């Protein structure tokens, strides 16, 4: 299989408005607590003007591997996948997910009334991103944010629904052993796209990271095809 990296070049300082067409910095390196300390801390901006399409068409093939991002993430995060014939192994029909949020094993079957068992979560919810700096990004960069594999995880559908657009101050995964990974991924996404955190969100993330000193940031994701 080939590996398609999701690469983005360097950008303006975190928290600064992005000029139209401005590139985005690569995901941060170093431990998550250090990266968290570098994030700007501000109040939540109004949600005025937010719609899902502000982040481009859902599941845009931003890494240009010929498959949409939803199917890319299903294939990345599940095991034993089968694919729809004639789609060049793009459309996932079945698979098994070990859900990071609940610890459950979920059988995925594509179809009406069954696909919803596994959903793709934006680890940093898009409306949360909108209220913490993404309004200032140009449309192309918001499309990257909305479809970046770093910000996407295949998870249990009902649990994803319960999260809504919450940040770490209002929602954390039920499985406590996954919380360090989860908040580290949020920090990586927010640093990558120059977003900020609220004081309550920062304190909640710091509280989680206190239980896992040296927690690394996740690397910029790749999609294997």
Burial classification of residue 13, based on how many CB atoms lie within 10 Å of its CB (0-12 exposed, 13-18 middle, 19 or more buried): exposed
Successive 10-residue mean pLDDT values, the chain, 225 residues: 41 40 52 96 96 95 93 97 96 98 98 96 98 97 96 98 96 98 97 97 98 93 58
Q: What is the pLDDT of residue 27?
A: 54
- SS3 of 59, please? coil
Q: What is the pLDDT of residue 220?
A: 81
Q: What is the pLDDT of residue 223?
A: 64
The tally of domains found in the chain comes to: 1
Question: Which domain covers residue 194, as residue numbers?
Answer: 3-224
Q: Annotate 156-194 with b (16+ C-beta within 10 A) or e (fewer).
A: bbebbeebebebbbebbbebeebbbbbbbbbbbbbbbbb
Q: What is the pLDDT of residue 222?
A: 56
Q: By the 8 A CB rule, do 115 and 157 touch?
A: no
Q: By the 8 A CB rule, do 68 and 155 touch?
A: no
Q: What is the pLDDT of residue 48?
A: 96
Distance from C-alpha of 123 to C-alpha of 160, rounded to nearest angstrom: 10
Residue of 71, 220, 92, 97 whose CA lies nearest to 149: 220
Q: What is the CA radius of gyration of the chain?
A: 17
Q: By the 8 A CB rule, do 148 and 6 touch?
A: yes
61 phi and psi angles, rounded to 5 deg? -80, 75
Q: Where would I find the H helices in the chain?
A: 32-38, 69-77, 126-130, 139-147, 157-163, 179-192, 199-209
């Amino acid at each position: 299989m080939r590996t398609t990296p999701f690469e983005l070049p360097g950008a303006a300082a975190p928290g600064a408005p992005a000029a139209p067409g401005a590139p985005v910095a690569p995901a941060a390196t170093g431990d998550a607590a250090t990266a968290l300390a570098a994030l700007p801390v501000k109040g939540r901006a109004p949600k005025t003007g937010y719609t899902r399409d502000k982040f481009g068409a859902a599941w845009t093939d931003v890494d240009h591997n010929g498959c949409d991002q939803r199917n890319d993430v299903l294939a990345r995060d599940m095991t034993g996948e089968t694919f729809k014939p004639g789609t060049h192994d793009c459309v996932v029909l079945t698979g098994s997910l070990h859900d990071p949020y609940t610890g459950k094993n979920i059988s995925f079957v594509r179809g009406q009334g069954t696909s919803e068992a596994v959903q793709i979560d934006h680890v940093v919810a898009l409306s949360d991103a909108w209220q913490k700096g993404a309004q200032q990004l140009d449309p192309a960069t918001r499309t990257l944010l909305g479809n970046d594999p770093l910000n996407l995880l295949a998870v249990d559908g009902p649990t994803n629904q319960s999260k809504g657009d919450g940040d770490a101050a209002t929602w954390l995964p039920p499985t406590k052993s996954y919380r360090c990974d989860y908040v580290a991924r949020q920090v990586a996404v927010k640093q990558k796209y120059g977003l900020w955190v609220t004081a309550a969100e920062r304190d909640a993330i710091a509280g989680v990271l206190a239980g896992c000193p040296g927690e690394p940031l996740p690397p910029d994701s790749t999609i294997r095809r």
